[in-house]
Amino acid sequence: MRRFSLVVAAVALAACGTKEQPAADTSAAAAPPPGISLSDVAGAWTAKVMRMDSDSVILTYDLSASADPTAWTITFPGGRPPVPMRAMADGDSIVVDAGPYESALRKGVQVSTHGAMRLVNGELVGTTTAHYQVKTADSVVTLRTVATKKP
């Protein structure tokens, strides 16, 4: 009986000592989404600007995009001169900065803008943060932008 008890104890000890293999980490195997380049979106675009909580268009402008990051411009309606932009590709996004320039939404107020856009179903879709040079609570506004490529 003593021998039987020792055998049972040894088997039980061996069974408790086995370790399960940890699950394989599959997150490292996933390939990142393909990046975008400025040349992917080069051309003439018509952009519509909306408030974040609305689909009503509050401003339309022409966007001239180029493979050259310093050749981007915004042209607002009404014969205003084009506003130069700086653009850069970052992963799947195009990041743009402009200004300061006179706001098309707030007459006589200077604004600087910073935005990021992604190419979604053939449109440039993103957000723009406008920093107005005023000393009031509404000095920063975030807007939505959707741009469609001109034929």
In a domain, 117, yes or no: yes
Q: CATH number of the domain at 92, please.
A: 2.40.128.30
Q: Check whether the bond before 34 is cis (ω within 30° of 0).
A: no
Per the structure, the count of domains in the chain is 1
* pLDDT, tens digit (0-9, with 9 covering 90-100), for 36-64: 999 999 999 999 999 999 999 999 999 99
Domain that holds residue 111: 38-149
Residues pairing with 73 in the sheet: 64, 84
70-80 pLDDT, tens per residue? 999 999 999 89
pLDDT at 144: 98
| pLDDT per residue as tens digits for the range 113-147 | 999 999 999 999 999 999 999 988 779 999 999 99
pTM comes to: 0.76
Residues 6+ apart with CB under 8 A from 116: 90, 93, 94, 95, 96, 126, 127
Cβ atoms of 44 and 64 closer than 8 Å: yes
- Asked if 74 contacts 61 with a C-beta cutoff of 8 angstroms, the reply is yes
> Does a structural domain hold residue 24?
no
| Domain annotation covers residue 19 | no
> HSE of 32 in the Cβ direction (CA atoms, 13 Å)?
6
Domain presence at residue 144: yes
